[in-house]
Structure 1
């Protein structure tokens, strides 16, 4: 396995021994995954790869030439074999006879399904002709930062020739589509010795007749650009030099924690957004630089960058030398409104009679001098990926502006990409969002049975979840389980003692930075104790009240602060107990604390209603499975109280219920989901008993 060791070079990871036994489609997959594994080669979902392969026709049995190409919407870094579209090359060549000219090129996408080989259901991407009409067996199209820096420069053609000579050609900007495929074909015919081409303001195409050769050529082309920029920019101050020194890391997160819920509230009117914060070195260098605002206003160049990050970012008016967070918050609404007005004006200037209606006019990217970059999107993964795309754009701007003059896409071209009817059709095909998409939840006692089940229910319905618990070991295990099944993007953990004001405040600050705010608060942290009143010590009494009453108060108080900052409502759910309504022998401290929770919820329902904050209670009973409470002394004590052993306690609880059924964590989670979802949008101050029926706890 060869390895490039030059500083900054992308490593050649091709393993010839491993590839020797692969078929041509398998080599295509291998090459694609290797290229997509490095963000310097291409972004998530960006670029595409292809191979022309001889295969037997399923009808005739005769060998035919088949184009394997990344399907629409795929990602080469994570693609599998099912992610490739397969098309007959003879039919793709025949499509030229249907082409009526550039003004009709979008209709060519509708012909691609007629070229499908072997009934492959994977939809072909609009870039298919760009691969089909290059007369080489293997083609790579990627978006490397170093090459886009060439492509986005004012004199990109001259730079391409200076760096690559005649080996790599250049084509002017052209929107992806059928016409560009014909341009590429024409270039290849006229330049038979060329090994690739730089597309202005777009990216790189390379080609070869061997899979490994094509992979190596792609890396060599990128590494040549990296090396060239390294030589040319070594002594050039990035972005005109630093004018704002970055705040210390702890202060950066503190500022982000203050700004993100406020921004989120302002931009979530149409649909809830999830945030992502990035303060890596490349971001800090950019947001603290002299030329940051000038470059940011030019927008991004590569269409993939642009689609993920919008026409331009919003630069937050913040001076890290005089960090007045309150003053910035006071001005923030005006900044957001100005951005919306600017976006609406852009839409009005560029729209056509048949353009789709204006979409969300809010910024995706927010740049904060001395602090970092905040991105907001419909879900956490999209917010994170949008940030990654803008980091790619930062890398492009740094190199391009150091050797030339950086240029973004012309405004009309940018609009034509953003509001492309084909792009709109793709958006319309997207699946309907899940019920809790864009929502952010915190679950205290998140490592226990009820807490983990509730978190899982929320995750399954599209929410992001913070698991808070005092038990670090159990918290880690629950996180590993849920993150492994729902992705690490959507699950975070925080060790939190609900009786500590500082710990609770820190947990909410962490949630603000990680996800942008909060929508759903599940107070579930708990203990249980059993003792006759004369045996109840003051310490035991205070422990119950501290965790079950004061803890719920502290969690609620911080929640109200953040929910009111956002101004978009929210839902709080108290997991109380049947014992809060129905007294039990030998458990006065526990029952009283649980009754306190229920009444606190009623009080908060009154206070929260004007702000759209709903507060409701779920009362479980005898949820033994998965519960940490029922694994210790409480189990022994309750078994003793009712004159049974551990094995018979669940049966005893089941038989005493009206419905004669056991209650499980998932049952409580279902009730917590109901109160968190829009299904209960008109409910507050309510109680749901999930106890299989207990006449003493009937609400009245």
Structure 2
């Protein structure tokens, strides 16, 4: 059971972390100190609980806390070799752990242990960083807080910064905290409640100071012609640009995208000073580690044509890569980690919004949120004075810090479909649902496309919500609905890499009873629908320039002539040949097209539940609830085919091991000799 100190620390962390005005996602840390019984001696020992590396205050659990012996941690000051070798102290934290130690200690552990206070918060509030990055931040801090909050000049986080803050606290007994130049705030208290109150006092006082003393238009006037486009036009332009930008941002490694057209972003991009301020880059380490030192900014107004914008973005991307490479070479030393990639994490398009990129949707979204924080910081600093972030050399020391590299190395290996975006039609039931679940489990972001919107929404929620899956209502016979679905995918994740043509239905009738409507309906949904979906997918994938996969869920009926099944069999044969035709045509763009030919999938199937089971059971003269067993018994392996088996075949085709395979149909029928491919 948690101690009272741990329970109070978690409660304080959750309250502070729940409000983005206080700190950003996964930013900052909090700690508590108290005595506890040593399980070996039974005697009380001083302990410190502190948020571990990589955790988030708003969602912190006890498992996310590092637990250290405070007496041992403070004894490290006696063997500290100096600022030039302070990184060595991080390894020494392992010798201070209590028991199994909990989470890995972060670089800020020294600050929490060395400062003489029972409870400490280190946060990255926009208002606090605005003071910290103002050109005359020290004087403004004095004006804002008097002797209640002290100023600590910029220093990279680490052991020496902990010693500096500890000294400032000793020398300023009236202080409740400090502003850390270029970085954020630290506050303390004798109790958890007092610490929280002091943190909030610093943040709210800084907010009020900026509002009261700051000028009204810190970013300058609105530039002529740079106002935001109307919402519909803006989002259509964004959806059109997203695949292009995602392809550019993935030059070194594949990325997932996120789009933000919030008011604060659009206002910043409409203002006169945005090019200058954006070029200065972000300052707080938590910001630029996720956003890179600066964004790519389009220097054309919203009135420019799409082709003009696209051409200019390509030019700017090439220049950005050259500049980033020069930045790396300017500051790298022989022991610096290799350059991780020269593509932008943030792209700003005036009148449209911000595109952010990362290894997954959450990382991309958080990068965008951090840049919004940076905009707020710039606004506050410019309102009071002049925005002056830390030097590029210092940014490089953090971005390519050996400790940061070690932190990245501790990350789990990505799943096979990480960074890939899949759009599955007919995804709310049966084979489509199983496929969406499998692709999501393997790391893909999934667009759950189905004519049944409520069921699609339910599945998207089950798969993890907006960072993992989104639902789109789409009738695959409708060109505009298909185009809208791909626009939604582009806005949600930056583009699409993998399409599964699964939407379908079936009507089982003899030839003479098959109506034109029966024929047209099945061909419209499957043959025409998969053609329309593939055409839109190819358009987007070609613009994206990252290759891709299109998989058709065809059927053994594409090659097997079953009874009373002319319309369904014919449309499945159409789909099967689309696979071959499109594989031949799209291969030049790196787009692979393959198919899966299942036998009848009865259990969990939307088609069979909709009447097809009863019709086929009547044709074969078996009871409807025995149809799956009947199908199994006519196969070589005597096994029933389930939706999960088809989903497994889809993954086999797109998971990476069959990278040189296209134009293939994979039978998933437990062995139907009459359907063997020849």
Once the 2 structures are TM-superposed, how far is the Cα of residue 306 of structure 1 from its aligned partner?
Answer: 1.1
Deviations 1:357-404 (A, max 9, x none): 111101100111111110011110000000000001000101110110
Deviations 1:569-619 (A, max 9, x none): 111100001111101111100000000000011000000111111100001
Partner of 2:553: 575
Q: Residue 381 in 1 paired to residue 362 in 2?
A: yes
Where do 1:202-221 residues align within 5 Å? 202-221=183-202
Q: Residue 194 in 1 paired to residue 175 in 2?
A: yes
SS of the counterpart of 2:36?
strand
Partner of 1:656: 634
How far apart are the structure 1 equivalents of 2:19 and 2:184?
Answer: 16
Q: Choose which of 583, 601, 605 in structure 2 pairs with 1:627.
A: 605
Where do 1:6-155 residues align within 5 Å? 23-155=4-136
SS of the counterpart of 2:101?
coil
Partner of 1:479: 460
SS of the counterpart of 2:636?
coil
How far apart are the structure 2 equivalents of 1:331 and 1:211?
Answer: 53
Deviations 1:511-567 (A, max 9, x none): 111111111010000001111100111111111111110001000101111111112
Q: Choose which of 226, 237, 257 in structure 1 pairs with 2:217.
A: 237
Q: Choose which of 489, 494, 501 in structure 1 pairs with 2:479.
A: 501
Contact preservation (8 Å) 2:298, 2:312: no
Contact preservation (8 Å) 1:238, 1:289: no
How far apart are the structure 1 equivalents of 2:71 and 2:150?
Answer: 27
Contact preservation (8 Å) 1:239, 1:289: yes
Contact preservation (8 Å) 1:299, 1:409: no
Q: Residue 520 in 1 paired to residue 498 in 2?
A: yes
Partner of 2:147: 166
Could you tell which deviates more after superposition, 379-388 or 647-656? 647-656
Deviations 1:194-215 (A, max 9, x none): 1111000001011111111111
Q: Residue 468 in 1 paired to residue 449 in 2?
A: yes
Q: Residue 275 in 1 paired to residue 257 in 2?
A: yes
How far apart are the structure 2 equivalents of 1:346 and 1:568?
Answer: 27
Q: Choose which of 389, 402, 405 in structure 2 pairs with 1:424.
A: 405
Contact preservation (8 Å) 2:234, 2:351: yes
Contact preservation (8 Å) 1:246, 1:369: yes
Partner of 2:389: 408
Q: Choose which of 661, 669, 676 in structure 2 pairs with 1:683.
A: 661
Once the 2 structures are TM-superposed, how far is the Cα of residue 315 of structure 1 from its aligned partner?
Answer: 0.2
CA RMSD of aligned residues (A): 1.1
Once the 2 structures are TM-superposed, how far is the Cα of residue 311 of structure 1 from its aligned partner?
Answer: 0.9
Deviations 1:267-305 (A, max 9, x none): 323321100000111111111111001000001111111
How far apart are the structure 1 equivalents of 2:304 and 2:511?
Answer: 54
Contact preservation (8 Å) 1:455, 1:467: yes
How far apart are the structure 2 equivalents of 1:262 and 1:581?
Answer: 39
Contact preservation (8 Å) 2:52, 2:64: yes
How far apart are the structure 1 equivalents of 2:253 and 2:320?
Answer: 18
Partner of 1:5: none
How far apart are the structure 1 equivalents of 2:288 and 2:138?
Answer: 22
Q: Residue 593 in 1 paired to residue 575 in 2?
A: no
Where do 1:351-362 residues align within 5 Å? 351-362=332-343
Q: Residue 310 in 1 paired to residue 292 in 2?
A: yes
Q: Residue 555 in 1 paired to residue 537 in 2?
A: no
Partner of 1:292: 274
Once the 2 structures are TM-superposed, how far is the Cα of residue 622 of structure 1 from its aligned partner?
Answer: 1.4
Where do 1:245-256 residues align within 5 Å? 245-256=227-238
Once the 2 structures are TM-superposed, how far is the Cα of residue 192 of structure 1 from its aligned partner?
Answer: 1.7
Partner of 2:586: 608
Could you tell which deviates more after superposition, 635-644 or 376-385? 635-644
How far apart are the structure 2 equivalents of 1:205 and 1:470?
Answer: 52
Contact preservation (8 Å) 1:275, 1:514: yes
SS of the counterpart of 1:466?
strand
Once the 2 structures are TM-superposed, how far is the Cα of residue 250 of structure 1 from its aligned partner?
Answer: 1.2
How far apart are the structure 2 equivalents of 1:480 and 1:47?
Answer: 29
Once the 2 structures are TM-superposed, how far is the Cα of residue 350 of structure 1 from its aligned partner?
Answer: 1.0
How far apart are the structure 2 equivalents of 1:257 and 1:488?
Answer: 17
Once the 2 structures are TM-superposed, how far is the Cα of residue 675 of structure 1 from its aligned partner?
Answer: 1.1
Deviations 1:39-73 (A, max 9, x none): 11001111000011110012111111101111111
How far apart are the structure 1 equivalents of 2:64 and 2:462?
Answer: 27
Deviations 1:320-343 (A, max 9, x none): 1x2411211122211100000000
SS of the counterpart of 2:463?
helix
How far apart are the structure 1 equivalents of 2:454 and 2:147?
Answer: 60
SS of the counterpart of 1:376?
strand
How far apart are the structure 2 equivalents of 1:156 and 1:650?
Answer: 74
Contact preservation (8 Å) 1:160, 1:168: yes
How far apart are the structure 1 equivalents of 2:201 and 2:26?
Answer: 22
Partner of 2:372: 391
Once the 2 structures are TM-superposed, how far is the Cα of residue 632 of structure 1 from its aligned partner?
Answer: 2.2
Segments of 5+ residues of structure 1 without an aligned counterpart are 1-20
Once the 2 structures are TM-superposed, how far is the Cα of residue 318 of structure 1 from its aligned partner?
Answer: 3.0
Contact preservation (8 Å) 1:261, 1:565: yes
Q: Residue 266 in 1 paired to residue 248 in 2?
A: yes
Partner of 2:311: 330
Contact preservation (8 Å) 1:271, 1:438: no
SS of the counterpart of 1:367?
strand
How far apart are the structure 2 equivalents of 1:512 and 1:449?
Answer: 26
How far apart are the structure 2 equivalents of 1:291 and 1:662?
Answer: 66
How far apart are the structure 2 equivalents of 1:437 and 1:480?
Answer: 19
Q: Number of residues paired by the alignment?
A: 675
SS of the counterpart of 1:549?
helix
Contact preservation (8 Å) 1:528, 1:629: yes
Could you tell which deviates more after superposition, 167-176 or 218-227? 218-227
Once the 2 structures are TM-superposed, how far is the Cα of residue 678 of structure 1 from its aligned partner?
Answer: 1.1
Once the 2 structures are TM-superposed, how far is the Cα of residue 22 of structure 1 from its aligned partner?
Answer: 7.0
Partner of 1:8: none
Contact preservation (8 Å) 2:428, 2:455: yes
How far apart are the structure 2 equivalents of 1:45 and 1:118?
Answer: 25
SS of the counterpart of 1:239?
coil
Partner of 1:6: none
Segments of 5+ residues of structure 2 without an aligned counterpart are none
How far apart are the structure 2 equivalents of 1:451 and 1:355?
Answer: 47
Q: Choose which of 664, 671, 675 in structure 2 pairs with 1:693.
A: 671
How far apart are the structure 2 equivalents of 1:566 and 1:317?
Answer: 22
SS of the counterpart of 2:219?
helix
